[in-house]
Structure 1
Amino acid sequence: MKNYYDLPTDDWKLTCKLLPNYKILSSHEFKRLLCKTIPTDHYQIQQWLANTDMLQFSQQLAIFMCTSFQLKIEEDYWYYIGNLNMPVVTWLSEVSKDVTEKKSINWDHSKTKLNIQYQQNLIRNKLQRLEINLYNYLQRYSSNLKMNDDTISF
């Protein structure tokens, strides 16, 4: 039976648990998944990933990419909440819970203007740290990674 995660729309702390951890996959499973995802020369991918160092490099790179995509989705969500609904957010942030309950307004009072800006800054900082970590990771491996016309070797 497939795992089912009932996540609220903005419970982003739990979404990181949904990110795949490619390092726990066997080399065979990772190669199969990568070949299934990339519609190019599967034989060449298999050759590149036959090298253990290249396989580990690719697995870590895949983790960076998935994390980046997840953070960008989260960033888009908070900008949508902040930009599209800011007049409503501003008004509802100032209204007490009693008023929203009496008027049957379904409003999450944690979505204040300040909280939305805080979340946007938090995501922006996470993305910047991820970019720095990715840059450092690529720099560390760039001296070991030699790319020729059709081959990649360590």
Structure 2
Amino acid sequence: MKVHHLSKEDWRQSSKLIPNYNRLSPDTFKQLILKNILTTCHDQIQQCLARITLLKCVRQLANLWCHFFQLKIEEDYWNYVGNLNRSIMDWLSEGVSKEIIQQNSIDWDRRKTKSNIQYQIALVQNKLQQTEYNMLKHLCQI
């Protein structure tokens, strides 16, 4: 099993770690599901997943859930950044010169302005709403 070490600044890299269940063979996908379900239910689950159409539906739903949770991680990241000491962020966002930042060795990413953080949060929330809609639409099709 691979171990990935990502700093909080590398949250975008975590999207590369999302599994794509469409790449797995049907048998591997079934085994992955069965490994995470009580053994008393294995026979019932195997019977259900024996139908290709249901297997495809479950696989698509698993991919949607992974995407949803990735977006929740991204949302948590931007909320964390947005909730950092707001007075300092406001001060730095409102035009402190690069010279002052360099002279005082302030570790500040100029892209993390108040308005950009709010924009990123809104963007992620829109993606979350779209993913939730896609999940509901998928469930209704089943």
Report TM bin, short chain: 0.7 to 0.9
Query: Per-residue CA shift, 1:92-118, capped at 9, x if unaligned?
Result: 223222211111111111100001001
The gaps in structure 1 that reach 5 residues or longer are: 142-154
Question: Does 2:26 correspond to 1:31?
Answer: no
- Partner residue in 1 for 2:65: 65
* 1:5 positional shift: 5.7
SS at match of 1:107: coil
Partner Cα distance (2:99, 2:44) in 1: 64
Deviations 1:61-118 (A, max 9, x none): 1001111111111111111211243222111223222211111111111100001001
C-alpha change, 1:118 and 1:18, in structure 2 (3 Å) is same
Task: Give the TM-score, by structure 1 length.
Answer: 0.81
> What is the TM-score normalised by the length of structure 2?
0.87
Most deviating of 54-63 and 30-39: 30-39
Q: Deviations over 1:30-65 (max 9, x none)?
A: 011111123352222212111111110110010011
Distance 1:102-1:84 versus aligned 2 partners, 3 A rule: closer
Aligned residues: 140
- Deviation per CA, 1:8-35, whole angstroms, max 9, x where unpaired? 5345544332211101100111011111
Residue matched to 2:107: 106
Q: Which residue of 1 aligns with 2:93?
A: 93
> How far, CA to CA, are the matches of 1:4 and 1:92 in structure 2?
36
5+ unaligned residues in a row in structure 2: which ranges?
none
Residues 97 and 109, structure 1, Cα contact 8 Å, conserved in 2: no
For 1:81, give the aligned amino acid: V
Range that drifts further, 3-12 or 92-101: 3-12
The match for 1:18 is: 17
Q: Considering fraction of residues, name the structure with more helix.
A: 2
Separation in 1 of the partners of 2:44 and 2:121? 41
Q: CA deviation at 1:4?
A: 6.5
In structure 1, what is the Cα distance between the partners aligned to 2:5 and 2:112? Answer: 21
Fraction of identical pairs, as percent: 50
Code of the aligned partner of 1:17:
K
Per the alignment, residue 128 of structure 1 pairs with 129
The one of the two structures with greater contact order (alpha-carbon pairs below 8 A, sep at least 6) is 2
